[in-house]
Structure 1
Amino acid sequence: MYYVSTRNKGMKKLAAEAIAQGLSRDGGLFTPEVFPKLSPNALETMREMSYQQRAVYVMKPFLDDFTVSELTAYAKRAYGDNKFDVKEVAPVRQVDDTTYCLELWHGPTCAFKDMALQMLPHLLTGSLSKNSEDKTACILVATSGDTGKAALEGFRDVDKTRILVFYPKDGVSDIQELQMLTQQGENVGICAVEGNFDDAQSGVKRLFSDEKLRDVLAERGYFFSSANSINWGRVLPQIVYYVSAYCDLLRDEKIQRGEKVNVCVPTGNFGDILAAYYAREMGVPIGKLICASNQNKVLTDFIRTGIYDRNRTFYNTISPSMDILISSNLERMIFEFAERSDGEVRSYMTQLANQGRYEVSDSVRARFQQNFAAGFCDDTQTKETIAKLWNENHYLVDPHSAVAFHVLEEYRRESGDETPTIVVSTASPFKFCADVLDALGEKEIAQGTAVIDQLTEKTGVPAPAPLAALKHFKPRDAKVTAKEAMETAVLDFLK
């Protein structure tokens, strides 16, 4: 199978080339030339499979330059060896009669990013081998909170790689920052950026397209690759958990074969909900895709109006992983809805770069509105939802997952659609202890890692082991750079 750039369909790469390169040289995102379909009995076949087996089954058609034995070994390393604290890896919990929660935070960094970033290092190193690449990959990452730690953990001491993570100074939770600053590994680097996530993400994209910088690094024996969801090797493992969730509901007889389910996803960069669309394209009976935003509701406004406009106030919210105004993976979705017109995509992305806004065609807007619903939630509503779920369902969620539950409730009330729905839970509530405690009525919040024990005492819910262990690690010194000086930070890291 070949992968094409969203900005130039003539740019074709094999899977190993696309994964190793990360971002197309023209700034576009690699996407499959065609989408493989599941066989009519595939979901039944996967009902009794382990998560690792399902991962191989779903990913193999996209990766025809990898063998089944290679992918089986990758899946075992990524999702086995007790890396996840539950056997199911991505369990589905029933919240009420028609609502199910797909918990994606049982991995080593307690966020959904683990689902892809435990797999990506194996896909990447396998790709380097297939490409006979002798240089070391420098993985550049921009994070709004969770991707950074998951990428650092995934690539820790992986041969032929170095990884540098940029995160917005004062734009992640205290626990998220502590997780990154206590990261072990000889090949890892962490740097705060004076600005917001969009500044960090735009800076990383700028570095990728800097030919002079690429030449300098090539002389030093390095090349750039990405662990952000612009890399197809990040998106592909995310498709797996939507397929797996449907198979779990089938296995547990919560739904009948062929019955549709809706999916509600809290998202800022659009990658997680894009993977749900791709799962539907493969043949999973998914109905409405419900896009849940926080107060930075650029995606909600876009889906409702067809106008993407990042020229707006940026809010620092209690769901910081969604504090994003430039949603990179939206480009892949527009590519599909524009009937793969690379020229149309190029035009929109040029307008975004130059004017900070674009308006899609009537046909593209109609396709978004046909496939997606969208809503948003402010911090007050987020806290109310956390409290409501705990008090009524005895179910503890983090602020991002709470955004999704709130948006789903509004969607159902406005549409009357009572289709069984999978809500995607993207992070452990213990990554956001202070805000969860505040939502539950606590007035005196403990400092530092003591807040983790406080949340356990309040709820009786045990903290995930990786977070409980943070108090035993000494953080490294935090490095800070101006957004204009990210190139210098890279060169210093790769001396």
Structure 2
Amino acid sequence: MTTFHSTRSTTDSLTSKQAIRKGIADDGGLFVTDSLGETHVDIASLAGKSYQQIAFDVLSVLLPDYTEAELKECIDEAYGPQWSDEKITPVKPLGDDYVMELFNGPTSAFKDVALQILPRFMARTTPADGDADEKIMIVTATSGDTGKAALAGFADAAGTGITVFYPEGKVSQVQELQMTTQSGSNVNVCAVKGNFDDAQSAVKRIFGDKELAGRLADDSHVVLSSANSINVGRLVPQVVYYFSAYAQLLERQVINVGDEVEFVVPTGNFGDILAGYYAKLLGLPVKHLVVASDKNNVLFDFLTSGTYNRQRPFFQTISPSMDILISSNLERMLYYMSDKDTRLISMLMNDLSQWGAYEVPEPMMKKIRSIFGTGWADENQVREMIADCWNKNHYVIDPHTACGYYVMQQMPRDPLTPRVLLSTASPYKFPRVVNESLGLDASGTDFECMDVLAKATGTTAPAALRGLETANVRFDNVVEIDGMEGFVEQAAKAL
């Protein structure tokens, strides 16, 4: 039986359904399972399978207490006509390399892959104490993309509400409008005075607040859960697209079964790349996973020095979804790399919260570096790469993908190992920066910028993004960090 417990202790023993409903462990740790890697996915059978079939193969291994029927229902509902490409995450040639588009979902960002299915997973869980009236309030902090993808996934989902916090003035105009215009009777959106890390840390405190939990349960029959990648139900669907990429390379006869592939992943919170590590543990022949950071290069410094230090300047960049200094999902990777040493993880996380830094033992870092490579791009390099990618390949990338593209150009090429760059968002979410980088007119509104970009490149803005110009703004709330808990409580009362 696969059971889940915290990265910081082994006291819990939850099923995957219970772990998904709960979101985060009581001790602040993230849910992991010790059976990860015991069962492999059959890679020889991947070629020719649809995304939905691959998702079933992978999720059956990772979430074994969902029945075959439940998983198939979840997959069918999540990966249907709301995607603009039937391959869901298509792999396309990019010069001598490949790019996997993760942005063909309803909100034009990679988060859709997980957040279209998470509400379906949640709907098939049951209250821990048998309270038939119990409702779930999803509370999430976003650095830009998670918020809208979560709102779109949970809007009007039965038995749930959702509250999203984003850092005021630190997301793009399009990202902000995507959230503030969200329809749905169970959704709440609020800007926060501070950066993403401030908001994320406050959300974790809210989850750990026993008194608040008691009040919510008594007054409103509400329990809190998360749609951030701290929730294991957010993480595991992302494992699927690594297998899908491999299947597509097999179909193109770029590789044979068993050949290794490298993945370059723009990431701030480490969830997107951790999914690749999970895929490797499930038997996917992953040679390296390369972390691409922006100027907030805390992961680069960690992977090169062995010291994780969040006591550093925070930069607001043109790749806002990666402007993160506390990388939550790193904790799960450290758990597996430390041979499942909960005491060590607990100690490291305690150091991070008390001193703002921790140091990982060198033998463990050696193991980590054998799988994870790293690099980062500054603002000028990001702009140069958007232009370079267009000039060389006639392919438009967004600023986050450009971080990965830059790092990929810096890496030594092994002609026998294909490289896949994960493209995390549509360039139309950041039309101003993209236009500036391509030497196009960027003087108008974001929507005028979209039209200029479409005309110059022969591409089309996703209708949902272009339509934001005339969408009705529903939410204009702003709170201080210490006002977030009160906001959640009000939202719960209205559920």
What is the TM-score normalised by the length of structure 2? 0.97
Q: Cα offset for 1:46?
A: 2.5
Backbone CA RMSD of aligned residues: 1.4
Q: Secondary structure at the match of 1:273?
A: helix
The aligned counterpart of 1:150 is: 149
Q: Assess if the C-alpha contact under 8 Å between 1:32 and 1:62 holds in 2.
A: no
Q: Cα offset for 1:450?
A: 2.4
Say whether residues 1:337 and 2:337 are aligned partners: yes
CA pair 20-133 structure 1, distance change in 2 beyond 3 A: farther
Q: Cα offset for 1:39?
A: 5.0
The aligned counterpart of 2:452 is: 454
Amino acid at match of 2:307: I
Q: Assess if the C-alpha contact under 8 Å between 2:119 and 2:153 holds in 1.
A: yes
Q: Secondary structure at the match of 1:218?
A: helix
Choose the corresponding residue for 1:469, options 461, 467, 470.
467
Q: Assess if the C-alpha contact under 8 Å between 1:116 and 1:234 holds in 2.
A: yes
Greater shift after overlay, 472-481 or 110-119? 472-481
Deviation per residue, 1:33-85 (Å, 9 max, x gap): 21145658x223222121111111110122221111111111010001x1100
CA pair 422-95 structure 1, distance change in 2 beyond 3 A: same
Q: Cα offset for 1:443?
A: 4.6
Segments of structure 1 that go 5 or more residues without pairing to the other structure are: none
Choose the corresponding residue for 2:437, options 432, 436, 439.
439
The aligned counterpart of 1:188 is: 187
Q: Cα offset for 1:131?
A: 7.5
Say whether residues 1:4 and 2:5 are aligned partners: yes
The aligned counterpart of 2:293 is: 293
In the aligned structure 2, how far is the partner of 1:109 from the partner of 1:164? 17
CA pair 246-453 structure 1, distance change in 2 beyond 3 A: same
Greater shift after overlay, 152-161 or 61-70? 61-70
1:351-366 paired onto structure 2 within 5 Å: 351-366=351-366
CA pair 357-213 structure 1, distance change in 2 beyond 3 A: same
Q: Assess if the C-alpha contact under 8 Å between 2:269 and 2:326 holds in 1.
A: yes
What is the TM-score normalised by the length of structure 1? 0.97
1:55-454 paired onto structure 2 within 5 Å: 55-80=55-80, 82-97=81-96, 99-128=97-126, 132-134=130-132, 135-219=134-218, 220-412=220-412, 419-454=417-452
In the aligned structure 2, how far is the partner of 1:444 from the partner of 1:306? 41
Deviation per residue, 1:274-321 (Å, 9 max, x gap): 000110110111101110000000000000111000000100000000
Amino acid at match of 2:294: N
Q: Cα offset for 1:472?
A: 3.0
CA pair 39-346 structure 1, distance change in 2 beyond 3 A: closer
In the aligned structure 1, how far is the partner of 2:150 from the partner of 2:321? 14
Say whether residues 1:32 and 2:30 are aligned partners: no
Say whether residues 1:13 and 2:11 are aligned partners: no
Deviation per residue, 1:298-353 (Å, 9 max, x gap): 00000011100000010000000000000000000111111111010000001100
In the aligned structure 1, how far is the partner of 2:364 from the partner of 2:482? 35
Q: Cα offset for 1:128?
A: 2.6
Q: Assess if the C-alpha contact under 8 Å between 2:190 and 2:475 holds in 1.
A: no
In the aligned structure 2, how far is the partner of 1:52 from the partner of 1:73? 11
Q: Assess if the C-alpha contact under 8 Å between 1:9 and 1:342 holds in 2.
A: yes
Amino acid at match of 2:348: Y
Identical columns (%): 44
Q: How many residues align?
A: 490
Segments of structure 2 that go 5 or more residues without pairing to the other structure are: none
In the aligned structure 2, how far is the partner of 1:249 from the partner of 1:387? 27
Amino acid at match of 1:471: E
Deviation per residue, 1:407-461 (Å, 9 max, x gap): 1111227xx6762111100000000000000000125421142222121122111
Amino acid at match of 1:273: I
The aligned counterpart of 1:478 is: 476
Q: Cα offset for 1:477?
A: 3.5
Q: Assess if the C-alpha contact under 8 Å between 1:397 and 1:429 holds in 2.
A: yes
Q: Cα offset for 1:475?
A: 1.2
In the aligned structure 2, how far is the partner of 1:133 from the partner of 1:453? 51
In the aligned structure 2, how far is the partner of 1:463 from the partner of 1:130? 44
Q: Secondary structure at the match of 2:191?
A: strand
Amino acid at match of 1:401: T
CA pair 23-417 structure 1, distance change in 2 beyond 3 A: farther
Q: Secondary structure at the match of 2:412?
A: helix
In the aligned structure 2, how far is the partner of 1:136 from the partner of 1:39? 35
In the aligned structure 2, how far is the partner of 1:312 from the partner of 1:255? 42
CA pair 444-381 structure 1, distance change in 2 beyond 3 A: same
Amino acid at match of 1:215: G
Deviation per residue, 1:3-49 (Å, 9 max, x gap): 12100123211111100000000101001221145658x22322212
Amino acid at match of 2:211: K
In the aligned structure 2, how far is the partner of 1:75 from the partner of 1:60? 11
